[in-house]
């Protein structure tokens, strides 16, 4: 049972435009969320996180939005760069128990 | 700074053969350690985690096992590999359970 879902397996965006990656979850007990970025043949790299007490967290070009009522998480990348091309995973923490990962969205930024 | 090493990077094994994947962490003490598997088209599935030496929690029943013989060493093993064990195996560490996890570069395991 996939508790964290990324329904778009792939996304293509023009360089300089905004990339929006989405993530939905089913368990309202999740209280901490993260985004990871993964290049081929490498492990995921932590990108940005957000606690359930917030609805927005920003770090440079990356902003994560949390809509608890909709159980929806999104990552915005502005402006998108070719080096952002990678697979992005969202993950949710269940009350200090374990992280549940989504299936990933492959982002391609077209120069 | 902390680093995590995982090897080998790729491995091809016949069905029924044993497995040993090793992961070590440097630059930190008493880390939480994790083994994940990513099957094709799937997310990261937590297999095992450990909060201390000799302490292993299994999340998914299977023919794999894990051991933590030293504080910063985590080993994934199997006595007899199945075809379904193919996948990308990732080791990770975190300072605490509610902290971001830091991943190794993974092992691509192919079972023939």
d(CA A84, CA A105): 12
Give the helix/strand (H/E) hosting A4.
Answer: strand A4-5
pLDDT tens track for B59-93: 776 789 999 999 999 999 999 999 999 999 999 99
With 0-12 / 13-18 / 19 or more C-beta atoms within 10 angstroms meaning exposed / middle / buried, residue B59 is middle
Contact B6 A93 (CB under 8 A): no
Residue B41 has pLDDT above 80, yes or no: no
Share of chain B above pLDDT 90, in %: 76
Residue A1 has pLDDT above 70, yes or no: no
Residue A42: per-residue pLDDT:
85
The pairing of beta strand B73-78 with beta strand B102-103: unpaired
With 0-12 / 13-18 / 19 or more C-beta atoms within 10 angstroms meaning exposed / middle / buried, residue B85 is buried
Residue B39 has pLDDT above 80, yes or no: no
The pairing of beta strand B73-78 with beta strand B64-70: antiparallel
Q: Residue B33's closest CA among B62, B69, B72?
A: B72
Query: For residue A110, what are its two tokens?
Result: 């077209």
pLDDT tens track for A22-76: 999 999 999 999 999 999 878 899 999 999 999 999 999 999 999 999 999 999 9
Residues 12-41 of A with CB under 8 A from B: 32, 34, 36, 41
| B99: DSSP letter | S
d(CA B34, CA B42): 18
Contact, A53 vs A66, CB < 8 A? Answer: no
Which of B36, B90, B100 is opposite residue A34, by nearest beta carbon? B100
Residue B61: per-residue pLDDT:
66
Q: Residue A91's closest CA among A39, A32, A43, A41?
A: A32
B50-65 mean pLDDT: 87
Which strand ranges, in their side-by-side order, compose the sheet holding A4-5? A4-5, A19-25, A72-77, A62-67, A56-59
Chain B residues near residue A50 by CB distance under 8 angstroms: none
Q: What is the DSSP string of A41-61?
A: TS--EEEEEEETT-SEEEETT
Chain A residues near residue B90 by CB distance under 8 angstroms: 43-44
């Amino acid at each position: 049972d996939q508790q964290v879902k990324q329904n778009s397996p792939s996304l293509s965006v023009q360089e300089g435009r905004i990339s929006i990656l989405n993530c939905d979850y089913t368990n309202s007990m999740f209280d901490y969320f993260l985004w990871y970025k993964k290049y081929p043949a490498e492990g995921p790299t932590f990108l940005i996180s957000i606690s359930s007490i917030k609805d927005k967290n920003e770090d440079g070009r990356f902003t994560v939005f949390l809509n608890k009522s909709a159980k929806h998480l999104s990552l915005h990348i502005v402006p998108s760069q070719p080096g952002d091309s990678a697979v992005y995973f969202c993950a949710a923490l269940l009350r200090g128990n374990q992280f549940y990962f989504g299936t990933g969205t492959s982002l391609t930024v077209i120069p | 700074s902390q680093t995590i090493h995982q090897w080998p990077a790729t491995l091809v094994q016949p069905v029924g053969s044993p497995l040993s994947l090793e992961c070590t962490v440097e630059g930190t003490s008493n880390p939480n350690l994790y083994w994940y598997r990513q099957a094709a088209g799937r997310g990261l599935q937590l297999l095992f985690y450990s909060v201390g030496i000799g302490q292993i929690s299994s999340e998914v029943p299977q023919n794999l096992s894990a051991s933590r013989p030293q504080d910063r060493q985590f080993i994934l093993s199997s006595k007899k590999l199945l075809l379904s064990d193919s996948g990308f195996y990732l080791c990770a560490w975190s300072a605490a359970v509610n902290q971001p996890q830091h991943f190794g570069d993974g092992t691509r395991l192919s079972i023939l």
